[in-house]
Amino acid sequence: MRESRWTAMRVAIGSMLLASAWLGSSAVVGADDLQTGISLYQQGKYAEAAARLANAPGAEAKAYLAASQAKLKKYGEAEAAAKAALADRPTDELAVAALGDSLVGQKKYDEAVDRMGAAIKRRADLAHAYYWRGHAYYKKKQPDRMVSDFETFLKLAPKAPEANSVRQLLAGLK
């Protein structure tokens, strides 16, 4: 009887150690996927980044996944990933930008205006929220609001990659 208890205890401890090792290694794999995915995104390798980030846990992974999918013009997938990231981190800059890109890309202009406006209310320095809301206003043929948002975008992010095209657009209106 004593020996069977000892055996049962060894099996239980072994199972716990095995489970602990598996959980620990999956956390390392998740962290590795996140860092590799971010690096791939920054290199412009969006499809590879999306593949790495698809199973990585956390809001940051979802934000980079959304941004990668938006760059690939997979707007529906980008929207879902961005909304998931924003559920955990409502003012995440990358997730806000990816959501704006995905909504405008899907021609959901009213929702883009509403969601970018809500993000701006939470945090007024989200440059790309103004950028994407400005695009939505442009598509909705509301030039005064578009100009206002694009000017705010330029004040907040004068060196952003999109800044020169926004400057050219605004200069063409004068």
pLDDT digits (tens, 9 = 90+) for 126-142: 999 999 999 999 999 99
Mean confidence (pLDDT) of the chain: 87
The angle at the Cα of 104, spanning 136 to 62, to the nearest 5 degrees, equals: 130
Neighbours of 50 (CB within 10 A): 24
Residues 83 and 129 in one domain: yes
Report yes or no on 63 lying in a domain. no
The stretch 49-76 carries a mean pLDDT of 97
Structural domain span for residue 94:
78-174
pLDDT-based confidence at 4, cuts 50/70/90? Answer: low
Report yes or no on 70 lying in a domain. no
The stretch 46-68 carries a mean pLDDT of 96
pLDDT-based confidence at 78, cuts 50/70/90? Answer: very high
> What is residue 142's DSSP assignment?
-
The structural domain count of the chain equals: 2
